[in-house]
Structure 1
Amino acid sequence: MLYRIFTDKEAFEEALYSYQTNLSIILAALLLMPFNYLMEVFKWQLSIKSLTYLPFKQATAGVLSGVSLGFVTPHAVGDYFAKIWSFSHEDRKKALGPILVARMSQMIPTLAFGAVAFIVFIQRKPVFDDYSSDYTSWLIPVAGLIAFLLLSFLFIKYGVKNKKWMYYFDLIRKLQLKSVAQLVALSSVRYFIFSVQFMLLLSIFSFPISFQQQFLGIAFMFLAKSVLPTFNFFNDLGIREFSAVLYFETFDISAAPVILASLLLWLINIALPALIGLFFVPQFKIDPS
């Protein structure tokens, strides 16, 4: 399959031509990028507020520099260091806990919609067909995944007794459920912005499938990117393209437009913000202690 995808020169030339004649749609996807990261800035401010108040400008610097350092580090660990170094506080190592919670909150919509997409992919039929038995088949894993994340949070909040770990999880233990719900809401908005961007890029081509099926294909891609083990170099570039092609091929969709849409989404949402974030990295006051 991979050989056929990357040797279909005619399909790629046709896809590139379509993009060149639809620059307004690409511009619309590009204009959504700041709103995408605005949600991440709000999440960072909300998760760290019990430790310190972060002004909007400082929170933005932490988020964008995190994208830059996470771009080239295994499993995006550079994002953790960037956010910790982006503000001054005697106990800033405690920020590890809030960063973890913010990441877990983003996993809830990713796992929820991704589980549905995965089951649809396995069944190879639209989820909105009138098969009542199908709904119960994916409600259980979705509920289980969300319950696992919530239980993990509750365990950290109430079950961790080790003093060393309590130091890092102290801020998690102080988080109110209202704040957790707000983090999940912001994560869900960010997830839908990502999805709308990808659907805009896919809309350049006349796909013979519904918007619901396109959305589930995107959900399948995000799920694969989040759960498959990688070294995160170039932010999992390749996994997202392969997983998207794998899903859409079940609907007889050509690989070329899917790959180009995914690459363009990566350039807009990862490469460009990572480049911008480089300007904030020299501002860090790194304390090796």
Structure 2
Amino acid sequence: MDTLPYKAKQFFFVLIKLGIVLFAFYFIYKKLTSNNQLDFVNFIESLTKNKMLSLKNGLLLFLLSSFNWFFEILKWQNLVSYVQKITFYEALKQSLSSLTASLFTPNRVGEYGIKSIYYSKIKRKRIMLINFISNMLQMGTTLIFGIIGFLFFINRYNPPINYFKLIILLVSISTIVVLIFLWVKQNTIKIRGIPLSKTKHYIICFPKDVLVKGGLYAIIRYGIFSFQFHVLLLLFGIDMLYLESMVVITTMYLLASIIPTISIFDVIIKSSIAVYLFSFLNLDSIIILTITSLMWILNFALPSIVGSYYVILFKLPKNDMES
């Protein structure tokens, strides 16, 4: 595109933005209408039967989703302040528009590209590293609480475990860790195109107070969306103690987080895992499938629709267009 005139670059950039939005809307539509686990008619019937479409319930769930994204936006604003101070509204635009772009990309890789182009070229690699740190803080929170929940789950429900396969898995993971360590020593690994040695140095030098604050936001956010799942269980008439449901919910998020997937299929993975885990409590699979689908709509589909507005409005700096 370097040889194209400015007007032509503008035109192609508009096409790219429209493509992102259309792909996002298409994937949301396909998810809602082509779910093999729970078709759209049964989904609406389940919501209606359990009075989930009432104004009171809708406001409660919307409020929890809003708080979920409020703390995600605060987390991004806090972390990126190390490179550039931004307002809450700017952080909101960057977070929601990157969600729209990541909806149909593996492991939300589209998020890195969208967030970075909001900044000058000289800052973009650092922005991508900060986004990596942000995701790792959230993943670390999921792993810590998930492992605790998983241990309680095993102790309480004694699920059938193939220990031979488990040993094979642990050996495989250990081998991968050793290979990664050897590659790190040779500086051949790159994260989003950035050598791991530089990444490691950047993370070590990252302000600890900013990291701690970011980690706190990650924990609060985790607490909100896991509590939202618990609230949905109660609204669907499943009378469970908070700690009892959290054992299963944290285990579900742990298992779902370690499976690489495109965001659009994230709900399918979580649904399958949730149905299996809640089967130990003899809960109706239709209710669990409805809850996981509703969680996806509230925390991914609706925010990505809002984010599409900011994708359309986004303009690259003229310097980028002319280069």
Match of 1:33 among 65, 68, 71: 65
Residues 1:10 and 1:48: Cα distance change in structure 2 (over 3 Å): closer
**Which structure 1 residue ranges, 5 or more long, are not aligned?**
127-147
Separation (CA, whole Å) in 2 of partners of 1:279 and 1:205 = 33
Shift of 1:86: 2.1
Residues 1:19 and 1:219: Cα distance change in structure 2 (over 3 Å): farther
Residues 1:88 and 1:59: Cα distance change in structure 2 (over 3 Å): farther
Match of 1:93 among 121, 125, 136: 125
Residues 1:41 and 1:14: Cα distance change in structure 2 (over 3 Å): closer
What residue in structure 2 maps to residue 131 of structure 1? none
**Pairing of 1:152-171 with structure 2 (within 5 A):** 164-165=195-196, 171=202
What residue in structure 2 maps to residue 259 of structure 1? 289
What residue in structure 1 maps to residue 267 of structure 2? 237
Verify: 1:186 aligned to 2:204, yes or no: no
Verify: 1:272 aligned to 2:290, yes or no: no
What residue in structure 2 maps to residue 135 of structure 1? none
1:195-243 per-residue CA deviation (whole Å, 9 max, x = no partner) reads 121112111233253221212222122112211122x141512011111
Shift of 1:167: 5.2
**Pairing of 1:79-158 with structure 2 (within 5 A):** 79-88=111-120, 90-125=122-157
Alignment size in residue pairs: 254
Verify: 1:71 aligned to 2:103, yes or no: yes
Separation (CA, whole Å) in 2 of partners of 1:240 and 1:171 = 33
Separation (CA, whole Å) in 1 of partners of 2:278 and 2:204 = 42
SS of 2:267 mapped into structure 1: coil
Whether the 8 Å contact between 1:84 and 1:96 is mirrored in structure 2 is yes
The amino acid of 1:270's aligned partner reads F
Whether the 8 Å contact between 2:76 and 2:95 is mirrored in structure 1 is yes
Separation (CA, whole Å) in 2 of partners of 1:183 and 1:20 = 33
Give me the identity figure in percent.
Answer: 26
Shift of 1:177: 2.1
Whether the 8 Å contact between 1:98 and 1:171 is mirrored in structure 2 is no
Whether the 8 Å contact between 2:97 and 2:114 is mirrored in structure 1 is yes
The amino acid of 1:210's aligned partner reads L
Separation (CA, whole Å) in 2 of partners of 1:235 and 1:85 = 26
What residue in structure 2 maps to residue 247 of structure 1? 277
SS of 1:87 mapped into structure 2: coil
The amino acid of 2:291's aligned partner reads A
**Which structure 2 residue ranges, 5 or more long, are not aligned?**
1-36, 159-176
Give the number of the structure whose alpha-carbon radius of gyration is greater. Answer: 2
SS of 1:53 mapped into structure 2: coil
1:180-207 per-residue CA deviation (whole Å, 9 max, x = no partner) reads 2111110000001101211121112332
Residues 1:20 and 1:54: Cα distance change in structure 2 (over 3 Å): closer
SS of 2:157 mapped into structure 1: coil
Whether the 8 Å contact between 2:137 and 2:214 is mirrored in structure 1 is yes
Residues 1:284 and 1:33: Cα distance change in structure 2 (over 3 Å): farther
Whether the 8 Å contact between 2:98 and 2:112 is mirrored in structure 1 is yes
Residues 1:34 and 1:122: Cα distance change in structure 2 (over 3 Å): same
Separation (CA, whole Å) in 1 of partners of 2:288 and 2:209 = 38
Whether the 8 Å contact between 2:275 and 2:289 is mirrored in structure 1 is yes
Separation (CA, whole Å) in 2 of partners of 1:39 and 1:272 = 17
Residues 1:18 and 1:96: Cα distance change in structure 2 (over 3 Å): same
The amino acid of 1:108's aligned partner reads G
Shift of 1:89: 5.2
Whether the 8 Å contact between 2:97 and 2:307 is mirrored in structure 1 is yes
The amino acid of 2:290's aligned partner reads L
* TM-score, normalised via structure 1 length: 0.77
